[in-house]
Homo-oligomer: A and B are copies of this chain.
Amino acid sequence: MNPAPRNPEDRPIATLLAPDIAALLDEAPADVAAETEDIHPADLADVAELLPPEKLQEFLAALGPARAADVLEYLDEELRSEFLQEITASQAAELVTQMTPDDRADVLEEMDEERAEQILSEIPTEARAETEKLLSYDPDTAGGLMTTEFVSVSADTTVEASLESVRAVARAGRKEAMHNIYTTDAQGRVVGVMSLRELLAAPPGAKISDIAWSEVVSVKPTADREEVARIIANYDLVAIPVVSESGHPMGVITVDDVIDAIQEEQTEDVQKFGGLEALDEPYSQIGFWAMIRKRGGWLSVLFIGEMLTTTATGYFQEEIGRALILAVLMPLIISSGGNSGSQATSLIIRALALGELKVSDWWRVALRELPTGLTLGIMLGGLGFLRIVIWTKLGFYHAEPDVEREYLWVGLTIWTSVTGVVTFGTIAGSMLPFALRKIGWDPASASAPLVATLVDVTGLVIYFVVALFILRGRLL
């Protein structure tokens, strides 16, 4: 409809198109397909989301099954499940059969099981078997990301013959992943890979085995999606084959699915690090009580954990009664531990996620974080010491007379305890992600609030012990 190239940043095409298409559906539904044929299905999905609900079915029907299937792949999950629930199982089966095998499996996975079974039973046998196999993999693994339709040729064919068979596949209009072409030996094992570009550039008479790269970077079906993302990023790939233990190709993972996986993984990590369960749904779509559950669980655990601080502080109640300055400084001192711990944790979580660090590097990290924590602690403690000195000298601080007299010792208490608390916070914050990965958890569960809670309790103990040691006979 629009001949100029489009910048999605500044022109939300869907809002422009939706009224036009709504009108067209009323007046001339037969024209809808022709009028929208050059529009990206992602945009048509946005249009579909803006249409009044009763028009959605009309719109997809007007597009025809192949285009409708493309649009469905980009449609909001909830809306798609609802739509596939409302039409008949055989209509739904016709639509999902048009999808690539991996998208088909993803769509069925979101639906309630009974309905998914009904739709599956209406899918042609071969596609059904393929889909059932994909559904058997964990969606967070290579098997769950891969599609089973890709192009492979025998290693001993010629370039021209291979090019012809690639063109035939492309013309058949099926949805094979075609970024790369894989070559196989007589036993059907993967022995080489080349890009479509390399095939086109090859001299006509050559044999495929002379053109293809014999080093094929691949993953196993059980590989974690984070691992797949790391490999795709490391080798700058647009597709990676999934290969069985015996060397036979099982499917291909394309980069678009990997980007989605990276984004999801990252959203989970940020949310976990913020101290809540991963939402698994966009912020604006999740229900009120589901949100309370995801947030309230961890908050309650942390609150109960933090109750230990009352035990610690209660134990030193008498000392606080003798020198109230200890209570006044308490929040400042323990928060420095939480902050430095949260920094260290974020660094290590990310380095582990990117593969820059391995679990076995923990001691190297500990050796590095120890002097870092000490240095930072001495710095911050020095700031605290200065504050006490300056405030007292300037007469800003209205303390009990004995605190004013012993201000240098109070300052030293801050300096020493902040050094201890920050060092402990840094070490605890950097080791927690390793410890979690070691016991098989996601290191990102080492959230900032969890670290702060851990460090608060220990920090209080460090603080009061230092105070007892330095101030005994002076204020205590």
Contacts and interface: CB of A to CB of B under 8 A. Distances in A.
Interface in A236-264: 236-238, 241, 243, 247, 255-256, 258-260, 262-263
A343 B295 CA distance: 7
B354 A263 contact: yes
A334 B331 CA distance: 8
Given A259-B232, A276-B347, A292-B376, A216 B5 contact: yes
A234 B263 CA distance: 11
Given A235-B40, A262-B263, A271 B346 contact: yes
Interface string A343-370: 1111111110010110001001000100
B331 A274 contact: no
Given A241-B5, A274-B346, A371-B288, A310 B328 contact: yes
A254 to B, nearest CB: 8
Given A4-B247, A275-B346, A295-B372, 9 more contacts: A7-B243, A39-B215, A267-B354, A276-B343, A288-B368, A295-B340, A295-B343, A295-B376, A313-B330
Interface stretch (A21-29, A87-95, A193-201): A193-201
Contacts of A453: 335, 339
A356 B76 CA distance: 12
Interface stretch (A49-57, A113-121, A377-385): A377-385
A201 B335 contact: no
A415 to B, nearest CB: 12
A3 interface: yes
Contact of A291 (B262, B345, B372): B372
Query: How many copies are assembled?
Result: 2
A274 B274 contact: no
Contact of A313 (B283, B327, B356, B383): B327
A329 interface: yes
A8 interface: yes
Contacts of A263: 233, 262, 354
B38 A214 contact: yes
Contact of A397 (B266, B271, B314, B372): B314
A475 to B, nearest CB: 14
A235 B276 contact: no
A20 interface: no
A336 B447 CA distance: 14
11 contacts: A1-B215, A6-B216, A6-B217, A7-B220, A7-B243, A196-B196, A266-B350, A271-B350, A283-B351, A283-B357, A338-B452
A422 B300 CA distance: 12
A218 interface: yes
A38 B234 contact: no
Interface stretch (A61-69, A104-112, A130-138, A316-324): A316-324
